[in-house]
């Protein structure tokens, strides 16, 4: 017998610790989560649609089959999340001032995603489609870009990235003149920004 789905609509969840807890068989629509903890939570198969997460901790949750549709993450800690396990149907989110270090977006189709003031250290974007995405003031130290679709993406205020134009699709991507080192570092050029 299949478990009944519990549906939550227009609800506010504050200061709840879901650590190592299963939230399966639930759907959340237009809900807000503030200062909630999802460390090692079982979020498999859940649907979050038009939800906002503010100041939440998402360190290593299980998200196999989880649907994130038009979800806003603000000031969240999201370490080591494998977004390739998500439900890929209408996958869309926005990240503002989040720490996404060591997360995996490999092969994800998430064009027009906003990464605003985020830490994206060692994030894997291999084979991802992040065309028209925005990386305003985001730290991309050791992030992996290989066979990544970055057409029309905006990196003008991003920093610490290393993107090889020969192995990524960069048509009409936006960069500032001072960021050329991040595109040419494999050539070991000595670029002087003081001239």
Q: What is the per-residue pLDDT across 150-174, written as a single tens digit (0 to 9) for each?
A: 999 999 999 999 999 899 999 999 9
- Is 110 found in the same domain as 33? no
Query: Which run of H or E residues covers position 74?
Result: strand 67-74
Q: CA 58 to CA 70: how far, in whole Å?
A: 17
Q: CA 31 to CA 16: how far, in whole Å?
A: 14
Tens of pLDDT, residue by residue over 76-126, are 999 999 999 999 888 999 999 999 999 999 999 999 999 999 999 999 999
pLDDT at 2: 58
Domain that holds residue 8: 1-92
Confidence of residue 189 (pLDDT cuts 50, 70, 90): very low
pLDDT at 99: 98
Residue 190, in any domain of the structure: no
Residue 145, in any domain of the structure: yes
pTM for the predicted model, two decimal places = 0.89
- Is 61 found in the same domain as 115? no
Q: Rounded mean pLDDT of the chain?
A: 91
Phi and psi angles of residue 27, each rounded to the nearest 5 degrees, phi first: -130, 140
Residue 10, in any domain of the structure: yes
Query: Which run of H or E residues covers position 184?
Result: helix 181-184
Q: What is the total count of domains within the chain? A: 2
Residue 191, in any domain of the structure: no
pLDDT at 182: 58
Q: What is the CATH number of the domain that holds 74?
A: 2.160.20.80
- Is 172 found in the same domain as 111? yes
Tens of pLDDT, residue by residue over 135-153, are 999 999 999 999 999 999 9
Distances (CA, A) of 134 to 43, 59, 70, 74: 27, 24, 16, 15
pLDDT at 3: 72
pLDDT at 90: 86
Q: Can you tell me the mean pLDDT for 17-34?
A: 96
């Amino acid at each position: 017998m299949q478990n009944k789905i519990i549906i939550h609509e227009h609800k506010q969840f504050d200061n709840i610790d879901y650590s190592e807890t299963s939230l399966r068989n639930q759907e959340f629509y237009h809900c807000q989560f503030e200062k909630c903890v999802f460390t090692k939570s079982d979020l498999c198969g859940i649907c979050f649609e038009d939800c906002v997460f503010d100041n939440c901790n998402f360190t290593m949750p299980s998200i196999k089959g989880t649907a994130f549709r038009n979800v806003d993450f603000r000031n969240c800690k999201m370490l080591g999340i494998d977004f390739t396990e998500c439900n890929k149907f209408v996958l869309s989110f926005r990240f503002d001032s989040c720490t996404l270090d060591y997360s995996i977006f490999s092969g994800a189709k998430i064009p027009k995603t906003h990464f605003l003031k985020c830490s994206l250290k060692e994030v894997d974007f291999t084979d991802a489609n992040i065309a028209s995405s925005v990386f305003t003031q985001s730290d991309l130290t050791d992030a992996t870009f290989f066979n990544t679709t970055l057409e029309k993406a905006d990196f003008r205020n991003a920093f610490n990235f290393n993107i090889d134009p020969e192995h990524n699709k960069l048509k009409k991507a936006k960069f500032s003149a001072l960021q050329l080192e991040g595109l040419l570092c494999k050539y070991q050029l000595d670029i002087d920004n003081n001239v």
